[in-house]
Chain A
Amino acid sequence: MKDYLKPESGKHNDKPKQTRPEDMDLKIGDCYKVNTIFIQDDFDRFAALSGDNNPIHTDPAFSARSRFGKTVAHGMLLYSKVCQVLGTKFPGPGTVQIEQDLMFPTPTYVGEQITIYIEVIDYRSEKGEAELLTQVQRPDGSLGLDGRTVVQLPLDKNSNGVAS
Chain B
Amino acid sequence: MMKGLALGQKAETHRTFHDRDIREYMALTGDINPIYFDREEAQRAGFEGPVLPNPLLGGLFSYLLGTQLPGRGTNYLKQSFQFSSPAHIEEEIIASVVIVRLRPEKELVNLHTTCRNSTGIVFCDGEALVLVRDLERNQ
Contacts and interface: CB of A to CB of B under 8 A. Distances in A.
Contacts of B31: 80-81, 83-84, 87-88
B62 A81 contact: no
A101 B41 CA distance: 25
Interface residues of A, number: 41
Contacts of A87: 31-33, 35
Q: What band does the interface of chain B fall in when counting residues whose beta carbon is under 8 Å from A?
A: 35 or more
B67 A94 contact: no
Given A76-B55, A80-B53, A94-B41, A102 B83 contact: no
Interface stretch (B4-12, B72-80, B104-112, B114-122): B72-80
Contact of A45 (B28, B58, B83, B134): B28
A49 B72 CA distance: 18
B123 to A, nearest CB: 12
Contacts of B134: 66-67
A128 B21 CA distance: 31
A103 B77 contact: yes
Contacts of B59: 46, 49-52, 74, 76
A83 B83 contact: no
12 contacts: A42-B28, A50-B56, A52-B67, A75-B79, A76-B55, A87-B35, A95-B33, A97-B54, A97-B81, A100-B80, A101-B79, A163-B44
Interface of B: 13, 15, 21, 24-25, 28-35, 41, 44-47, 53-56, 58-63, 66-67, 72, 74, 76-83, 134
| 5 tightest A-B CB contacts, nearest first | A87-B33, A50-B59, A80-B55, A84-B31, A80-B29
